[in-house]
A and B are shown apart, each in its own frame.
Chain A
Amino acid sequence: MFSVSTVPPTSTQTFVDDFPSSTSHRKHQSESDAMAMDVDMDDEFGAGPSKRAIVTPGEVITSSKEYMRGHGTYVEETSVVSSVTGTIERVNKLISVKPVRSKYVPEVGDLVIGRIVEVGPQRWRVDANGRQDAVLMLSSVNLPGGVQRRKIESDALKMREFLAEGDLLVAEVQAFFGDGAMSLHTRSLKYGKLRNGQLLVVPPQLIRRLKSHFHHIPPPCGPTGVDIILGLNGYVWVSAGTTQEKREGGDGFDAEGVYSDKNDDITPEGRQAVSLISNIIKLVASEGIPLTETLIGEAYNWVQQQGHGVEAHGPLDTRDGERMLAEVAGVDISA
């Protein structure tokens, strides 16, 4: 009916440069994509990670009535339509779209790092990077000294002494309230208030659910090593290392000091090690590469091996960062 034309993009963004600018061509391509999708449904669909099809909102995934809609989709008439941008996932007849970027979606058992935003009656409100603030009930924390007993009124009055506004803590998702807010608990010696380190915020998709999210990089990375906690909500805690026993309530565990506000004495070398690891994590995360213990460890080793060429403890400069990613992760970001 009309012929609407656009000027080819003159943008400097690299990701648009290599894209065909003819609209008619593109339209055709997306249509044929959709058609291929319908065919794909029947045979090997969504098999390998590299083959995963990408859809954007409003795109019809399948018009067959056989499928059920999962997260990230909705039904219009008989078609299953995507509502987010991401990859199609299929489990038997259930089709869902996994968004590439989204807010953290909690599950029971997840390890998260949070920040106290409010001390309320019998509970703390915790910002855990979710849709709503999380709740930590007084009954879900350990008392100092590790005594096991019912919480009494005097404990409620001392809540701010345990955790005050702004304090960081590591906790586990215990359950959900009716409105979808998560309820946390810290009833393990591994959980509780955080100190001796710094917080990093990364996209939550970069952290995978693993057996353990507590990692320790041993010396010579700083005099006592460096501890890393990868919270599934995208909060990462990097702190000066402690020994296994101290962390899990063995010898030398300071049961009274779990709610201490004071940092331990950290040597300058220890601080350098913490910031080096933080810089590695920031660099890897900024390129959208998933964080794993092995990757961080290898990146650290790489920096050590560079010897004189690379400042072993300071921030990585751009060139070194590029080389590190190319050699450790096999990602070329220089282009």
Chain B
Amino acid sequence: MSSSRLEILNDGGLRHDARRPYELRSTSFALSTQSNAEGSSTVTQGLTTIAVSVYGPREPRSRANASHDRAVISVEVGVVPWAQGGGGGMKRTRGDKRLQEIGAAIRQTFEPVIMTHLYPRSEIAIHVQVLSADGGILPTSINATTLALISAGISLTDYVTSISIGLHLTQPLLDLSQPEESDLPSLVVASLPSSGKITLAQMETRLHVDRFQEMMDLGVEACKVLKDEMEGVVKEKTRKIVERMDVRGVAVEEQ
């Protein structure tokens, strides 16, 4: 709200980081980045980096939480003190309401997507760690959680991908960075790319109803692009693992 000096969109139609309105930030997806979790991933979108580890399905840590017919999902979100830059200008602790809200949003997003009935009486623990923050913590966390769950081999009905959409005057912008996020009305959409259905939509700033539909449609479209990007990485990684599994596999079969 304060940095009104920022020019959101210049005369040439470029944003402050030289992107076009519908251009996403550079992304990198890495799977199985942590060896002692069942599944993990590190996702970078622009200058936001988030690491997610998934443990389980495993015996629930507290038996009171167990459910007899499905797995329970627990999500914990943490931010490293240096993530925000500037010597930890925003201090966030474990009990922070904002982080708990993000955690609850991630849990509720994945509850219908994970096939929890396959894992009765167990627990799936998702740990999200924000390593550097430059806008879009929630969408990047959701993308990273999808990849971590995939690398853990947990059954999902589909990918869940997420993106933020802003609105400058009448021009929607995709994938907002921190300065844009604080200046513009923004919407976060998470969708299931194959059906195009929306599982999470969050908006916190005033926006006219008529503009809303356009932004939402754009977000769903962008989610599909992200999914293609992620699927490429997942397949490439899987192909390598499958290749390795066949190393000397023939020799064993002959014995």
B and A form one assembly? yes
Q: Mark A44-56, 1 if CB is under 8 A from B, else 0.
A: 0000011010101
Give the interface segment out of B80-88, B94-102, B128-136, B223-231.
B223-231
Residues of B within 8 A of A10 (CB): 26, 28
Residues of B within 8 A of A23 (CB): 225, 228-229
Asked whether any CB of chain A lies closer than 8 Å to the CB of B76, the reply is no
Asked whether any CB of chain A lies closer than 8 Å to the CB of B202, the reply is no
Residues of B within 8 A of A26 (CB): 228-229, 231-232
Asked whether any CB of chain B lies closer than 8 Å to the CB of A27, the reply is yes
Q: Mark B107-129, 1 if CB is under 8 A from A, else 0.
A: 00000000100011110000000
Assuming the contacts A4-B225, A5-B24, A23-B228, asked whether A58 and B193 have C-beta atoms less than 8 A apart, the reply is yes
Cβ-defined contact, B23 with A72, below 8 A? no
Cβ-defined contact, A84 with B153, below 8 A? yes
B interface: dominant SS? mixed
Measured CA separation A133–B22 after assembly (Å)? 49
A interface: dominant SS? loop
Measured CA separation A229–B237 after assembly (Å)? 29
Q: Please give the distance in Å from A32's CB to the nearest CB on chain B.
A: 14
Give the interface segment out of A150-158, A238-246, A257-265, A285-293.
A285-293
Q: Please give the distance in Å from A311's CB to the nearest CB on chain B.
A: 24
Measured CA separation A124–B198 after assembly (Å)? 46
Cβ-defined contact, A102 with B153, below 8 A? yes
Residues of A within 8 A of B183 (CB): none
Measured CA separation A31–B115 after assembly (Å)? 25
Q: Count the B residues whose beta carbon is within 8 Å of the partner chain — how many? A: 69
Asked whether any CB of chain B lies closer than 8 Å to the CB of A131, the reply is yes
Residues of B within 8 A of A288 (CB): 240-241, 244-245
Residues of B within 8 A of A102 (CB): 152-154
Residues 237-255 of B at the A interface (beta carbon under 8 Å) = 237-242, 244-249, 251-252, 255
Q: Mark A281-308, 1 if CB is under 8 A from B, else 0.
A: 0000011111010110000000000000
Asked whether any CB of chain A lies closer than 8 Å to the CB of B44, the reply is yes
Cβ-defined contact, B119 with A131, below 8 A? yes
Asked whether any CB of chain A lies closer than 8 Å to the CB of B58, the reply is yes
Asked whether any CB of chain A lies closer than 8 Å to the CB of B200, the reply is no
Residues of B within 8 A of A205 (CB): 245
Q: Please give the distance in Å from B95's CB to the nearest CB on chain A.
A: 29
Give the interface segment out of B3-11, B137-145, B155-163, B204-212.
B155-163
Give the interface segment out of A11-19, A140-148, A312-320.
A11-19
Asked whether any CB of chain A lies closer than 8 Å to the CB of B201, the reply is no
Q: Count the A residues whose beta carbon is within 8 Å of the partner chain — how many? A: 61
- A52, closest chain B residue (CB): B242
Residues 19-69 of B at the A interface (beta carbon under 8 Å) = 19-20, 22-30, 32, 35, 38-39, 44, 56-59, 68
Q: Please give the distance in Å from A188's CB to the nearest CB on chain B.
A: 24
Q: Mark A190-212, 1 if CB is under 8 A from B, else 0.
A: 00000000000000011010000
Give 14 new A-B contacts, CB below 8 A, not counting A4-B174, A54-B238.
A1-B217, A5-B20, A6-B26, A7-B26, A7-B27, A26-B231, A30-B228, A57-B155, A100-B238, A127-B59, A132-B59, A132-B121, A289-B244, A330-B248
28 A-B residue pairings within 8 Å (CB atoms): A1-B221, A2-B22, A3-B22, A4-B222, A6-B24, A6-B229, A8-B26, A9-B26, A11-B29, A13-B28, A16-B232, A27-B228, A50-B246, A54-B235, A57-B150, A72-B155, A74-B115, A84-B150, A85-B234, A101-B39, A101-B152, A131-B57, A132-B121, A180-B121, A288-B240, A288-B241, A290-B245, A330-B248
